[in-house]
Chains A and B, each alone.
Chain A
């Protein structure tokens, strides 16, 4: 879902930067309050892991592929959507500047889609489903899928506003591809990781810490 340079007019890119920067600042503020002996290594390894897994495109039908975004997984493990915003900002900076994956002029919009929208939608869906009594692993699957799917639809609308994609077909294809990527690339991997953490190191998960304390 990395939008390359040239897909969005510069004046629109500027608007997306203006929207995104306050969120990045808020994520830095969150980190300055929350970082401790456990969360610094978690943040570092999640950044490395998310970068590596984003380089692994999984095949889906229609000659297409897709990869995990990982913002929701990071938010669940670190207990805040701001963690996802901070991590995806770092990952997208490195991907854009070092590996030409995602544009530079489109950094703002890419952080908005993958860091902010996918993460907030996914994390709060996860929290909502958990409150309704859904088990953590199932809730993390649903949250991860919703985060990716909704951000793909928003991405289609942005590309329509940019004059790059037609609206209906854009929504159709972006929605279709990412509905599938959301299952295998995002939902399943997030659920497995959360399941493993829950079994091996439940103390890491903030929601579990509160229960046992």
Chain B
């Protein structure tokens, strides 16, 4: 039973991940839109850490890179949360 739950869940997550780059709006999000209204929030963005796949994309790979990036992230989340769950279950 739990194996089936896992499989159905993974399938749904990967489906969303595969569709996201094609369906997602590239407009700024609520917080970014608000920030654009205020000059006090301009140019405050600085990089504290160099992420390997900024903005859910892989440099030079276009749309394919976006699909890959989100798929990798989704699988990484799955493994991390499963691992955390198993460790905490034993704890």
Is the beta-carbon distance between A57 and B56 smaller than 8 angstroms?
no
CB contacts (< 8 Å) of A181 on chain B: these are 30
Q: Any chain B CB within 8 A of the CB of A164?
A: yes
> Is A26 among interface residues, defined by CB-CB distance under 8 A?
no
Inter-chain pairs besides A35-B86, A40-B2, A99-B53, 14 sampled, C-beta below 8 Å:
A32-B91, A44-B82, A45-B78, A47-B77, A48-B9, A48-B75, A48-B77, A49-B13, A51-B74, A53-B20, A55-B56, A60-B30, A66-B30, A100-B55
| A–B Cβ pairs within 8 angstroms, 21 of them | A6-B46, A40-B82, A40-B89, A41-B5, A41-B6, A46-B9, A48-B78, A51-B17, A52-B70, A52-B74, A63-B27, A65-B24, A65-B29, A95-B73, A99-B51, A99-B56, A159-B41, A169-B37, A170-B34, A174-B31, A201-B5
Query: Which B residues lie at the A interface, using CB under 8 A?
Result: 1-3, 5-6, 8-10, 12-14, 16-17, 19-20, 23-31, 33-35, 37-38, 40-41, 44-49, 51-56, 69-70, 73-82, 84-86, 88-89, 91
Q: A7-B44, A52-B17 are in contact. Are A99 and B73 (CB under 8 A)?
A: yes
- Residues of A contacting B75 in the complex (Cβ-Cβ under 8 angstroms): 48
Q: Given A28-B88, A163-B40 in contact, is the A43-B81 Cβ separation under 8 Å? A: yes
Residues of A within 8 A of B24 (CB): 55-58, 65
Contact of B20 among A39, A52, A59, A170 (CB under 8 A): A52
Q: Is the interface of A mostly helix, strand, loop or mixed?
A: helix
How many Cβ-Cβ contacts under 8 Å join chain A to chain B?
A: 222
For A, the interface residue count at a CB cutoff of 8 angstroms equals: 73
Nearest residue (CB) in A for B8 is: A45
Report A42-100 residues with CB < 8 Å from chain B CB.
42-53, 55-60, 62-67, 86-87, 90-91, 94-100
Q: Which residues of A are found within 8 Å of B14, using beta-carbon distances?
A: 48, 52
B73 to chain A, nearest CB (A): 6
Interface check A3, CB cutoff 8 A: yes
B49 touches A104 (CB 8 A): yes
Residues on A lying within 8 angstroms of B by beta carbon are 1-7, 28, 31-32, 35-53, 55-60, 62-67, 86-87, 90-91, 94-101, 103-105, 152, 155-156, 159, 163-166, 169-170, 173-174, 177-178, 181, 201, 204
